[in-house]
Chain A
Amino acid sequence: MPAELTEVESREVMAPELLPLAADFVWRCGADLRIEELSPLDLGCDEAVAGVMRGIRLDRLAQRVLYPAQAAALTRLVGQRAPLRNLALSCGIGDERVLNLTLNADVSHDGEGRFSGYYGVGKLWPTDPFDERQRAEMVELLDRSEASRSREQRLREEADVLLESLRTLIQPAPLAEKCASLFGLFGRLLRFEEALVVRRRSRTECLAVVATDPALVGMNWPVGTVVQRAFAGHADVIADLSQTAEWRELPEAVRSRFRTALVAPLTIGNEAAMLIALHGAPGHFEASQVALMQRLSLAATQAFQADEQKNVLMNTAKLATLGELMTVIAHEISQPLSVISMAVKNAKLAIEAAQSRGRSSEDMPIVMNKLDRIHDQALRAGEIVTAIRTLAHPDRRTIGLKPVAVGEIIDNIRNLTEGSLRNRGIALICEQPPYCRPLRANPVSLQQVFLNLVVNARDAITESCRERSQAIKGTIHITVLDDGRSDIIYVEIADTGGGIPPDVMARIFDSFFTLKEVGHGSGLGLAICRTLMTDMGGEITARNNNMGAVFRLEIPVYRDDPNTDR
């Protein structure tokens, strides 16, 4: 091995202040901090030591160091890419052998001044004999590092659970499902057997509204110290439930299975409630778990809150849509009624005229024609009423998901909006494949989404024409795309209203965000569309094309499989 050659080369590049140091080896690492080169300078340097050091990365070395302070120092210096000066390190290298060394190094730079690694010298210090005091110290240190590692592990697990629960919270899902996943997540950390949310029903009655075990839902939790403390906002460990005053009032189902509880307060709306985790072994829960339990109750509170807000949002938006469409509806219904009354009048006049001439047969075709027209117009009015009724149906959730023909929805929308579109000179063009598979959707929700998008498109076109002081003119294109194979049918609703400004594109689905004038939009329309779509397992997205905005709906295809049908 050409040790001398290496030595000479190293010395040439070494900073002058490193040279006088007593050194046993020279070393060098690249920008990735891997020690590429380590050459002994004299015989006092064990080649085995060089073997251990060579190829190891400085940041990995920090992890193998026995003393935390050393590891912190090395990590900090390496992180700052600062020179290393007499940095003392002790690493375990197996067989109870400890390597003690000091490192000195300067930062090297490449031709353009970028960090390219370290170069320097190192000295080994004798480690033997290994006295008992040192051994005990090391064992203690190892234990301590083990403990801190497991604490770190637990913290990481907690963080994972919290992150996952946040994800659960923001995902649109029924309340019961959300609670079930929250309980599942926290159950990994709290290790309870069952958990439930107890809500006050009346002064003397508290019912379990959500529970991990369905058998516990609806159970009456007696009002006693546990409930009172929880409702007052205290979180507790109840080491032994049988010591509480209300033990004997608890149902047999609880008494036979559980002895210990972890309790945290919860709020549902403005109401106090409590969260209880149960376990069979007395003393199972520890005081340190109370904080985590409070986290869970906070998450559950948010889940309940989101659920209640959503209901409020739904109703507000439905009202807003209906209010906005009131004028359209009035116009739509009065139109056929006008035609009917006129046709009746004209038919009557025709018959009267014929009678006065004594030849009633001549006017028969006119009268028949009128009757046909009356019939058509009555049907037209009826269709509008049907469309409104579907829209205003109060029990959106009870209908559930069923096969829906997209053509029917589009026909309904056409009936509802045709008049207001025609009045503005806006054309509604629908393109659908000759055969389109049924959608798995809630017809009321889907109709509301379509209606919202068409009304929005109409308003966008009107507004953009008005801004340019042009006569209103535009097209709304509804395109149904069914490739016949995938699980999704796409419906695109495109307008020629100039599009959505790019800076607000990300916010258009937010509640209370609107581009319309004050008093013309609630800012709930698209928020509600998104909620309705995700409720149905679909999706809604928006983009611009060169003419205007394009909203794309992704709706699952209905499959005749009882497992997928809820």
Chain B
Amino acid sequence: MAGERSKAGRRGPVLVVDDDVALRSELAEFLERMGYTVLVASDGNEALEKAQAAHPSVVVMDVGMPQLDGLRAAEILTLLRHTEQVVLMSGVPEQIAAAAERQGIAALLLTKPIDLEALLRIVDSLTLTRRPAAAGT
């Protein structure tokens, strides 16, 4: 699977946002291995800047972050149409789901620890609908 993907043309870009450097770099590395062009940001503000410049297909973002948290950043990103879809990650998804509903964000929510297969399926499906021509198969 990995080999197959890495031969295909780069897809994306996907923006990975997390303030924890270990998590951010592993996640970026994984998505790169899966054939995506990956951008990284360490907080909400940086994510907004990068998203405005690069218009990523998907933003995978942590919720709890300094300065600008994931929920607020997701709201802004969707409003400004900097991206098609935001995927939020959280260790306490129940609370975040309630908060997201209040703020009117239709974000996809992944529970930490992250199930990488699930994440990949989501990212794949999101990028496929956007750019079916770029699919590797």
Chain A residues within CB distance 8 Å of chain B: 327, 330-335, 337-343, 345-346, 349-350, 352-353, 356, 373, 376-377, 419-420, 422-425, 471-472
State which of B23-31, B51-59, B100-108, B121-129 sits at the interface with chain A.
B23-31
User: A356: nearest residue on chain B (CB-CB)?
Assistant: B3
Chain B residues within CB distance 8 Å of chain A: 2-3, 6, 19-20, 22-23, 26-27, 29-30, 33, 64-69, 89-92, 95, 111-114, 116
User: A426: nearest residue on chain B (CB-CB)?
Assistant: B66
Query: What A residues does B6 contact at CB under 8 A?
Result: 353
Query: What A residues does B116 contact at CB under 8 A?
Result: 341-342, 345
Give CA–CA (A333, B113) in the complex, Å: 8
Known: A377-B22, A422-B19. A335 touches B112 (CB 8 A): yes
Give CA–CA (A419, B111) in the complex, Å: 17
Contact A331 B66 (CB under 8 A): no
Contact A335 B20 (CB under 8 A): yes
Give CA–CA (A335, B29) in the complex, Å: 17
A330 in complex: contacting residue of B20, B23, B26, B92, CB < 8 Å: B92
Give CA–CA (A423, B64) in the complex, Å: 5
User: A377: nearest residue on chain B (CB-CB)?
Assistant: B22
Nearest-Cβ distance from residue A359 to partner chain B, whole angstroms: 14
Contact B112 A334 (CB under 8 A): yes
- For chain A, what secondary structure do more than half of its interface residues adopt (helix, strand, loop), or is it mixed? helix
User: B116: nearest residue on chain A (CB-CB)?
Assistant: A345
Contact A349 B112 (CB under 8 A): no
Give CA–CA (A263, B35) in the complex, Å: 88
User: A331: nearest residue on chain B (CB-CB)?
Assistant: B91
Give CA–CA (A337, B116) in the complex, Å: 12
Query: What A residues does B64 contact at CB under 8 A?
Result: 331, 419-420, 423
Contact A339 B26 (CB under 8 A): yes
Query: What B residues does A420 contact at CB under 8 A?
Result: 64
Contact A338 B3 (CB under 8 A): no
Give CA–CA (A349, B4) in the complex, Å: 12
Give CA–CA (A328, B83) in the complex, Å: 30
- In addition to A339-B20, A342-B114, A423-B19, 19 A-B residue pairs with Cβ atoms within 8 Å of each other are A327-B92, A330-B92, A331-B90, A331-B91, A338-B23, A339-B26, A342-B26, A342-B27, A343-B22, A346-B26, A346-B29, A349-B33, A352-B2, A353-B2, A356-B3, A376-B22, A422-B19, A425-B66, A425-B67
Contact A353 B3 (CB under 8 A): yes
Contact A346 B30 (CB under 8 A): yes
Query: What B residues does A471 contact at CB under 8 A?
Result: 67-68
Number of A-B residue pairs at CB separation under 8 A? 80
Give CA–CA (A330, B3) in the complex, Å: 36
Which 5 residue pairs spanning A and B have beta carbons closest together?
Answer: A425-B66, A423-B64, A334-B91, A334-B112, A342-B26
Give CA–CA (A546, B95) in the complex, Å: 35
User: B95: nearest residue on chain A (CB-CB)?
Assistant: A327
Query: What B residues does A335 contact at CB under 8 A?
Result: 20, 23, 91, 112
Query: What B residues does A423 contact at CB under 8 A?
Result: 19, 64-66, 69
Query: What B residues does A337 contact at CB under 8 A?
Result: 112-113
Give CA–CA (A373, B67) in the complex, Å: 27
29 interchain pairs, CB-CB under 8 A: A327-B91, A330-B92, A331-B64, A331-B91, A331-B112, A334-B91, A334-B112, A334-B113, A335-B20, A335-B91, A337-B112, A338-B113, A341-B114, A341-B116, A342-B29, A345-B116, A346-B29, A349-B2, A349-B30, A349-B33, A352-B2, A352-B3, A353-B33, A373-B22, A376-B22, A420-B64, A422-B19, A424-B66, A425-B66
Contact A330 B114 (CB under 8 A): no
Contact A330 B91 (CB under 8 A): yes
User: B5: nearest residue on chain A (CB-CB)?
Assistant: A349
User: B90: nearest residue on chain A (CB-CB)?
Assistant: A331
Contact A341 B113 (CB under 8 A): yes
Contact B114 A338 (CB under 8 A): yes
Query: What B residues does A345 contact at CB under 8 A?
Result: 30, 116
Nearest-Cβ distance from residue B14 to partner chain A, whole angstroms: 14
Nearest-Cβ distance from residue A322 to partner chain B, whole angstroms: 15
User: A425: nearest residue on chain B (CB-CB)?
Assistant: B66
User: B23: nearest residue on chain A (CB-CB)?
Assistant: A339
Give CA–CA (A54, B6) in the complex, Å: 117
Contact A342 B69 (CB under 8 A): no
Query: What A residues does B27 contact at CB under 8 A?
Result: 342
Nearest-Cβ distance from residue B77 to partner chain A, whole angstroms: 18
Nearest-Cβ distance from residue A350 to partner chain B, whole angstroms: 8
